[in-house]
Structure 1
Amino acid sequence: MSDSNLIERLKGVSTATLTTVLLKKGLRNVWLRGAMPLRRGQPRQVGRAFTLRFLPLREDLATPASWSSPTSTRAAVEAMPEGSIVVVDAMGATDAGIFGDILCARMHKRGVAALVTDGVIRDLDGVVATPLPVWCKGTAAPPAVSALTFAGWQDPVACGGVAVYPDDVIVLDNDGAVVIPQALVEEVVEVAIEQERLEAWIVEQVESGKALPGLYPPNEENLQRYRADMEKD
C-alpha cells in the first residue's frame, strides 16, 4: 500500500480507536502526554514523524548566537519534508516557547502538515494567524534558549513520555496525538478501519434503543447481525 494511501485511510480513524487497536497489540504507551490542539476544530492530521530534540539548558550553547548555528531550529526547518508531522521533544518544559510565528510560517510554506510537542509555543497570536496546525502544552513568552538547548533532528525522541522514531506515523485530532510504529502501520490501518465501521454500527444500535450488554463489546450474536448488515450495504 502506498504511503499516500495509508495516510488518507488513517484520516478517517480517530486517535481513540487507534489507542484501542494498539492496546490489543500490546502497545500501551502511544499517546503523547500534554500535546493537545492549540485551536479547537483543527482537522485530523496524519503524517510521518520528523523529529527534533531539546536538552536541558547549557548556558554556553543555548544563546541567541546559536540561532545561526548549523545545528539550529532554523536549519531543522529547512530540512523538513512536505507532508511531515514535526514532533518536538521539549522534555515537557512550559517556561520557554520552542517555536514562534516566523518558524511556524516557514514550516507551513514548506508544506509541513502539523507541529506537535510536549512543550509550548510563543507568539501565540502570530502562530494562530498561520495556517499551521499545532498540538502543544500551551504558550510562554520566553524563547527556547532561555530554558532549553537544541540538540538536533531526525533522531529517536521522547515526546510526552512516548518513544517516537523518525518515520513513525503520527495521528492528531481533538483527543491529542498518537504514534503508530512504522513497522505496524499497514496492519493497524486495516484493523482500525474495521473497528471504526463496527463502532459506527454499535452507535446506530444504541440510538435505536439497544442495551449495551452483549452489544459493546459485541457478542457472537451481535457480530453476526453486524456482518449481515454490512453485507446488505
Structure 2
Amino acid sequence: MKRKILFIEDDVLMREIITDYFEKEQWEVFEAENGKLGLEIFEQTSVDLVVLDIMMPELDGWSVCRRIREKSVVPIIMITARSEDDDQIRGFELGADEYVTKPLSPRVLIARAAALMKRAEGTVGREGDTLIYGDLLVNRMAHTVSVEGYNINLSPKEYDLLNFLIKHYGKVLHREYILDAVWGYDYLGDLRTVDTHIKKLRAKLGDEGRHIITVIRSGYKFQVES
C-alpha cells in the first residue's frame, strides 16, 4: 500500500518538483496551495505524513501545524526559506518532527521523510519487549506509551527521544549526543531543540516525567529513583 503525503506549499513550481519526486518513490501525494485548503484536505483524507511550508497565504504554517497537532500525531516536516534557530524552536514547540530550509534537495527531503516514517511505524530500534517504570509502560512491539493505563500520544520524535533515554538507563547523556543520535548528524538545529522536546515529553508523561532527570551543566538521564 502506498504511503500518503499531504504537501502544503504555495510555490507552484516547487509543488510540481517535489510531487514528481515523491510519486517516483511510490508515494500518493495530495497537494494544497495554501494553509486553509491544506487543513480541509487533512480533515477529509487519512495521510501518513505532512510536509508544510511556513510562509503561505490564507493560513500560515505555524497555524496549520498547531491545528493538526490538536487532533493528530501524524509526522510533520516543516520547510521554510528562513533558517533562524528561533523559527526552528517555534516549529518544534508546535509539534513539528523535522525542519528543513530552502533551497532544499528533493532527494534529501525524501530521505528524511522515509527515515521519519520508519521511526513512526516502529521499524527502527524495535526490540519487541515491554518496559515498565513505575506507572509508565512502553510497549516497543505495539509502539505505544501509557501512564496508569492511559495511552499517551507522543510524536515520533518524542517517542524516539524517550526510547533513547531508556536505552541508556542511568547514564548521563549530553545534549550534543542526544541531538546527534535522535535528530541525526546532519541536523542543523541547536541544543535548545533537545530542551524543548524534553519539556514537552515530561509534560505529556505527567508525574512519570520525573524519571527524566536534568543533570546540571551536562544533560539528561532516565532513571527511576527511590
Instruction: Output the TM-score relative to the length of structure 1.
Output: 0.28
Higher relative helix content: 2
Structure whose alpha-carbon radius of gyration is higher: 1
